């Protein structure tokens, strides 16, 4: 069915201009099979229970998508969801979430992106967009002040994210339009393709871009003029004043260098995996640290809506061999680690160029680096043959060529586009020992042999390995850290010991993941040092509800349990809550030589976690646990 040109207008759009609360009460629904569009208007209880972001994503996946659907089929549901606090005046709220069933893992795909897109969607009248079906030909959505139009994207298909954004803004006559889109990687349904926003902000992990590509949906352009309201401006100003007074001290690392300033520190403490987890030390790693590459290519610093920190890098480089365009931003720590030490590449120009290509093509940089490093080791050990090109450790040019081949699905790139876990299945048992994944998703650049509680978090994560919705061990090892402050609000002893997974650390993990899950639903940047008390005041001020720290935690726990129910429904069991072989491989040298959990130690820690969560030995939430959270099994 030809759906191009279909339009929809939300009734009573002007009602959203009253400014009395921070959510509109309207969720846009779009069916790409036939072009139907309508609005859900959930009640207040729906918002208070789920908040937005990940909470909304899981609600629609659990309640409207059948179990066992093909993630790249039309029955998968794609959700774009800001949260109740997104777009308010509170610093750190310039974020939103994107979710679906993951084609990479078969589990939950739920990622957050910064910038302005989420705020603009709320100003345009919607708290979320829920998309189902598949268009017959490429389309994009144009949303402005309650009005929606389905437009042809045939002329955009195949274009990079930068070019697509330029064309859409010119076509619609407004440079301030905010665009969520896929690049050629999403169109090719690379299983770790990202959804890009404002060109250089990614909902990066778990293949959300591939889901968008499978629906023939190239982009969603938004523009709005309705202000995001507040129920209590004075109460919100208390939190605003606190963060504005303290962020330079508490977030000085982000203000000065952003995450790129942590490259040398993470390497020297053992936090960064090297040469696909084989080495303990990487010569020349400091070349990738902000202190050394800033003078070479830093052009500017960028930020997100309502954020004074400006942690986002903008790099530019131009010589006779390499051009790096500033519109694609610059590499963060995870990118620098994945495309640098993990692949044994210490050339900052090559790594920055690889980052630019990932943004232009729409690729998750963590999985891209992980699958390339895995392929490099397989090639080095003679497990791959018959290809005209194979990447090599330490070779920046082959790193860049690998990215091109992944997007074109050409030669070895067609194998890499499936992710390292599926490559290992094809190669056979020798490759299993080289895998660094959890739930088939490549590990982030926080080595679980050093950050062992974080490693447990990788194994438990409903999205596959995730460092954000987690507790990073060394962040809680010094008094007064933001993590310690939050744990103390619930009476836990701090600081935490660095090594191992104790009962205390598991208790701490439960509290911190509940908080992070709330933040991913609200949706708020994890870099901000907010506590439960700050969120109590912010949520009360945004909505007029009288909430408590216990309610904030309960919201987080509810959504954690919803994610567990989703995994169970999709066929995952306790056996899937584990890590691949490289997470247990012990190095002979370097700062973490001889350090790693054993598989048995990880399994015991996870059993303890299950019990403390009110789950049985198979990780299934009990009826009592679900009843307390207002949930049901099945």
- Contact between residue 473 and residue 466 where contact means Cβ atoms under 8 Å apart: no
Residue 159 shares a structural domain with residue 304? no
Cα–Cα separations (whole angstroms), residue 43 to 48, 50, 187, 227 = 9, 11, 36, 21
Q: What is the mean pLDDT of each run of 10 residues along the chain (634 residues)?
A: 93 72 96 97 97 98 98 98 96 97 98 97 96 98 97 98 98 97 98 97 97 98 94 97 95 95 97 98 98 97 94 95 96 98 98 98 98 98 97 98 98 98 96 98 98 98 97 95 97 97 98 98 97 98 97 98 98 98 97 97 98 98 97 83
CB under 8 Å to 206, separation ≥6 — which residues?
102, 104, 105, 107, 108, 109, 110, 111, 192, 364, 441, 463, 464
Q: CA–CA separation, 561 vs 624, rounded Å?
A: 12
Residue 304 shares a structural domain with residue 179? no
Residue 396 shares a structural domain with residue 429? yes
The pairing of strands 217-223 and 139-144 is parallel
Q: CA–CA separation, 88 vs 92, rounded Å?
A: 9
Residue 142 shares a structural domain with residue 281? no
pLDDT confidence of residue 16: 65
Cα–Cα separations (whole angstroms), residue 222 to 18, 118, 148, 158 = 21, 9, 9, 21
pLDDT confidence of residue 280: 97
Residue 470 shares a structural domain with residue 425? no
pLDDT confidence of residue 20: 86
- Torsional class of 148: left (φ above 0), alpha (ψ -120 to 50), beta (otherwise): beta
Cα–Cα separations (whole angstroms), residue 460 to 563, 577, 633 = 11, 5, 19
pLDDT confidence of residue 19: 78
φ, ψ for residue 101, nearest 5 deg: -85, 135
Does a structural domain hold residue 157? yes
Residue 512 shares a structural domain with residue 607? yes
Residue 381 shares a structural domain with residue 458? no
Considering its fold, how many domains does the chain have in total? 3
pLDDT confidence of residue 75: 98
pLDDT confidence of residue 11: 79
Count CB-CB contacts under 10 A for residue 4. 17
Which residue spans within 287-407 are E strands per DSSP? Answer: 298-302, 312-315, 317-318, 323-324
Q: CA–CA separation, 445 vs 370, rounded Å?
A: 9
Closest CA to 38 of 138, 122, 130: 130
pLDDT confidence of residue 167: 98
CATH code where residue 412 lies: 1.10.569.10
Does a structural domain hold residue 383? yes
Count CB-CB contacts under 10 A for residue 303. 16
**Which domain covers residue 65, as residue numbers?**
7-223
Does a structural domain hold residue 62? yes
Q: Which one of 223, 256, 287 terminates a domain?
A: 223
Does a structural domain hold residue 482? yes
CB under 8 Å to 252, separation ≥6 — which residues?
none
Residue 499 shares a structural domain with residue 609? yes
Count CB-CB contacts under 10 A for residue 62. 15
CATH code where residue 598 lies: 1.10.599.10
pLDDT confidence of residue 519: 98
Residue 70 shares a structural domain with residue 203? yes
Residue 509 shares a structural domain with residue 475? yes
Q: Which residues pair with 80 in a beta bridge?
A: 98, 129
Q: What is the DSSP letter of 375?
A: H
Residue 397 shares a structural domain with residue 465? no
pLDDT confidence of residue 633: 80
Which residue spans within 224-356 are E strands per DSSP? Answer: 298-302, 312-315, 317-318, 323-324
């Amino acid at each position: 069915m030809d759906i191009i040109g279909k339009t929809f207008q939300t009734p009573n759009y002007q009602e959203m201009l009253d400014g009395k609360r921070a959510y509109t009460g309207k969720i846009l629904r779009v069916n790409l099979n036939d072009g139907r569009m309508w609005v859900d208007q959930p009640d207040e209880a729906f918002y208070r229970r789920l908040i937005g972001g990940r909470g909304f994503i899981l609600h629609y996946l659990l309640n409207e998508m059948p179990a066992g659907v093909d993630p790249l089929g039309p029955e998968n549901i794609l959700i774009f969801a800001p949260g109740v606090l997104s777009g308010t005046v509170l610093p750190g709220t310039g974020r939103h979430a994107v979710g679906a069933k993951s084609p990479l893992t078969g589990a939950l795909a739920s990622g957050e992106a910064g910038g302005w897109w989420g705020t603009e969607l709320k100003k345009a009248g919607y708290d979320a967009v829920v998309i189902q079906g598949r268009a017959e030909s490429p389309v994009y959505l144009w949303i402005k002040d309650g009005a929606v139009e389905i437009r042809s994207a045939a002329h955009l298909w195949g274009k990079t994210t930068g070019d697509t954004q330029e064309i859409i803004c010119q076509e619609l006559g407004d440079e301030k339009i905010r665009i969520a889109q896929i690049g050629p990687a999403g169109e090719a349904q690379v299983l770790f393709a990202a959804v890009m926003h404002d060109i250089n902000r990614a909902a990066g992990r778990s293949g959300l871009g591939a889901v968008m590509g499978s629906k023939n949906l190239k982009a969603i352009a938004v523009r709005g003029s309705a202000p995001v309201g507040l129920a209590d401006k004075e109460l919100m100003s208390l939190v605003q004043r606190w963060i504005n007074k303290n962020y330079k001290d508490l977030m000085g690392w982000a203000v000065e260098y952003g995450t790129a300033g942590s490259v040398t520190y993470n390497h020297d403490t053992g936090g960064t995996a090297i040469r696909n987890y084989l080495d303990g030390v990487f010569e020349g790693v400091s070349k990738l640290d902000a202190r050394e590459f800033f003078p070479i290519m830093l052009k500017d610093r960028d930020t997100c809506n309502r954020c004074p920190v400006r942690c986002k890098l903008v790099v530019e480089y131009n010589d006779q061999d390499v051009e790096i365009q500033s519109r694609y931003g610059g590499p963060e720590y995870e990118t620098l680690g994945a495309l640098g030490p993990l692949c044994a590449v210490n050339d900052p120009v090559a790594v920055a160029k690889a980052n630019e290509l990932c943004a232009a093509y729409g690729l998750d940089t963590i999985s891209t680096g992980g699958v390339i490093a895995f392929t490099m080791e397989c090639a080095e050990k003679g497990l791959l043959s018959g290809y005209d090109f194979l990447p090599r450790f330490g070779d920046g040019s082959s790193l860049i060529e690998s990215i091109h081949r992944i997007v074109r699905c050409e030669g070895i790139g067609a194998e890499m586009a499936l992710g390292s876990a599926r490559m290992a299945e094809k190669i056979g048992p020798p490759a299993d020992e080289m895998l660094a994944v959890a739930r088939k998703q490549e590990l982030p650049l926080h080595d679980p042999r050093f950050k062992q509680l974080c490693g447990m978090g990788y194994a438990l994560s409903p999205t596959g390995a995730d460092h954000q919705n987690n507790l990073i061990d060394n962040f809680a090892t010094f008094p007064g850290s933001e993590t310690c402050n939050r744990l103390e609000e619930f009476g836990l002893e701090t600081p935490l010991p660095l090594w191992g997974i104790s009962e205390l650390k598991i208790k701490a993990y439960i509290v911190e993941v509940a908080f992070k899950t709330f933040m991913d639903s609200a949706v708020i940047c994890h870099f901000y040092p907010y506590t439960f008390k700050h969120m109590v005041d912010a949520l009360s001020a945004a909505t007029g509800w009288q909430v408590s720290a216990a309610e904030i935690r309960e919201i987080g726990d509810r959504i954690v349990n919803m994610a567990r129910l989703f995994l169970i429904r999709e066929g995952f069991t306790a056996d899937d809550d584990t890590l691949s072989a490289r997470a247990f491989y012990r190095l002979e040298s370097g700062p973490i030589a001889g350090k790693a959990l054993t598989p048995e130690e990880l399994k015991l820690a996870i059993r303890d976690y299950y019990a403390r969560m009110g789950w049985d030995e198979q990780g299934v939430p009990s009826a009592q646990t679900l009843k307390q959270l207002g949930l049901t099994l099945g």
